[in-house]
Amino acid sequence: MNGQDVVKGLLAGHRDAGAFARGAEVHLAHPFETLTAAEYFDGPLNQLAAAFPDLERRDTIRMESVDGHNQLWVGVCGYYCGTFAAPFLDIPPTRRMAAMRYHEFYRIDGGTVAEMQALWDIPELMMQAGAWPMGPSLGREWHVLGPATQDGLRVQSDGARALQIVGDMLAGLHRSDEGEEAMRLPDYWHENASWYGPAGIGTCRGIKGFRAHHQIPFLNAMPNRRGLVEQGHFFAQGDYVGFTAWPGMEMTLSGDGWLGIAPSGRKITMRSLDFWRVAEGKIAENWVLVDLLHAWRQLGVDVLARMRQLA
């Protein structure tokens, strides 16, 4: 049985913790944090199913490979959707169809899930309910698309070439203090690439859109950001690359311009789980989820409490 078969069996049961190894940890977005498998199924998933009585999963990407630590990982990207019929985390129900993105990464060992790292785009639900209490996104807020090639559920073959391109691109990003040319973005990104950020940041189109609506504000606010690549997990299959880490970055909010947050000088960590699709030697699409509620909480702001006041 391969890794995807293990995960498919888990998802088919949906509320069965038996696919997890004894002692396996589930790392989930704020406010849920680190849970046992039983706590994950009895807590967040049951709460979500209670809020969406016709809850449905729609995967758009499934991939698996061995990472640089010789660990087998399965990455799944998609949406939870259904009728938002009852409150979830006190987000008021819309009583209409709603959707929430997820990025899920499963470490497989001995035919069971040894670890899970996942983000749910909870701010996306707040926005659909008209209860987003923070600033507007610079990017476009909408229902994020699946792969343009529509092959995200049929990923096959070796991913070494795609992994190399993404790795070289990330190395270039770390030269941002030398200026835009040093990052060599046109060498790695297609001119019409789509960058699908989380709710609160939004989607950006092309290199200019990515720079204007995400990268420049991010770098200006946190110029000392450092990727925790050594403790993360990169893996690739076919044209797709996945990355997960808990956390994946650390930085100090020393400048203005990111999400409208005043520079506090506080050091924070950030959870960012990514999928990339490479086409003809360049990155064509990048799906990104960031645990923004966790980032805000480290800066002393309880977004959920503000949402409750608004709602």
Same domain? For 171 and 104 the reply is: no
Same domain? For 168 and 297 the reply is: yes
**Mean pLDDT to the nearest integer, 257-271:** 90
Domain boundaries, position 13: 3-128
pLDDT above 60: residue 19: yes
Pairing state between β 97-109 and 112-120: antiparallel
pLDDT above 60: residue 14: no
What pLDDT, on a 0 to 100 scale, did the predictor assign at position 172? 84
Which pLDDT tens digit goes with each residue over 107-133? 999 999 999 999 999 999 999 999 999
Residues with Cβ within 8 Å of 186's Cβ and at least 6 positions away in sequence, in order, are 207
Same domain? For 194 and 244 the reply is: yes
Look at residues 105, 128, 151 and tell me which one is the last residue of a structural domain: 128
How many domains does one find in the chain? 2
The pLDDT mean for the chain works out to 92
Same domain? For 166 and 291 the reply is: yes
Q: Is residue 141 part of a domain?
A: no
Per DSSP, which regions of the chain are E strands? 20-28, 33-36, 56-66, 72-83, 97-109, 112-120, 189-196, 203-205, 226-227, 233-237, 240-244, 249-252, 267-270, 272-279, 282-290
SS3 state of residue 68: coil
pLDDT band, residue 103 (cuts 50/70/90): very high
SS3 state of residue 261: coil
Which pLDDT tens digit goes with each residue over 201-257? 999 999 999 999 999 999 999 989 888 877 899 999 999 999 999 999 999 999 987
What pLDDT, on a 0 to 100 scale, did the predictor assign at position 18? 72
Q: Is residue 139 part of a domain?
A: no
Same domain? For 166 and 295 the reply is: yes
pLDDT above 60: residue 1: no
What pLDDT, on a 0 to 100 scale, did the predictor assign at position 9? 63
**pTM confidence score:** 0.94
